[in-house]
């Protein structure tokens, strides 16, 4: 064991002498997290931050499903058709059913999403968006008195 450590130390010393450790990124900067209390999951948090992954990935499956259910209105808002909204909800419901068949993690109540309610809300939001986008129609001012409907000759008055 001593010969292995001596070999490693000798290689490090040789690399230092040759300047291979000069100009490394972060040189002269303090170590991140120094002076803060030890966090045993620091590497998980740094991995999520570095890879730009959501922290929801650390949650157990039922809690991830509950979060997805809460976000359904926001996620379907920009879908183009009713068919795509129904397909999105059907996929989510399939994931929920899969978990319900073989539950893992904490016992949390997770219910299927009502497809028709989501579609109704999506349609209402689309109608409201169209109503906001289209300005109210203004009728042109009449140039003369309104025309009367056709009248038989015996009902017409002489002008």
Residue corresponding to tokens 């157990």: 60
Listed by start position, the domains of the chain span 59-133
pLDDT, one tens digit per residue, over 90-143 is 999 999 999 999 998 888 899 999 999 999 999 999 988 888 887 766 655 556
Q: What is the DSSP letter of 65?
A: H
CB within 8 Å of 30: residues ≥ 6 apart:
none
| Main-chain phi, psi angles of 59, to 5 degrees | -75, 150
The reported pTM is: 0.58
């Amino acid at each position: 064991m001593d010969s292995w450590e001596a070999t490693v130390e000798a290689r490090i010393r040789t690399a230092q002498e040759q300047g291979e450790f000069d100009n490394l990124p972060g040189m002269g900067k303090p170590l991140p997290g120094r002076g803060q209390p030890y966090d045993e999951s620091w590497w998980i948090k740094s991995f999520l931050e570095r890879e730009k992954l959501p922290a929801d990935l650390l949650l157990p499956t039922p809690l991830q499903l509950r979060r997805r259910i809460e976000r359904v209105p926001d996620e379907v808002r920009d879908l183009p058709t009713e068919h795509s909204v129904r397909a999105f909800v059907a996929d989510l419901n399939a994931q929920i059913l899969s978990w319900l068949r073989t539950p893992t993690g904490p016992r949390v109540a997770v219910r299927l999403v009502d497809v028709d309610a989501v579609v109704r809300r999506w349609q209402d939001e689309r109608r409201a968006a169209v109503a906001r986008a289209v300005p109210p129609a203004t009728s042109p001012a009449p140039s003369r008195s309104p025309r009367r409907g056709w009248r038989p000759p015996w009902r017409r008055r002489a002008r």
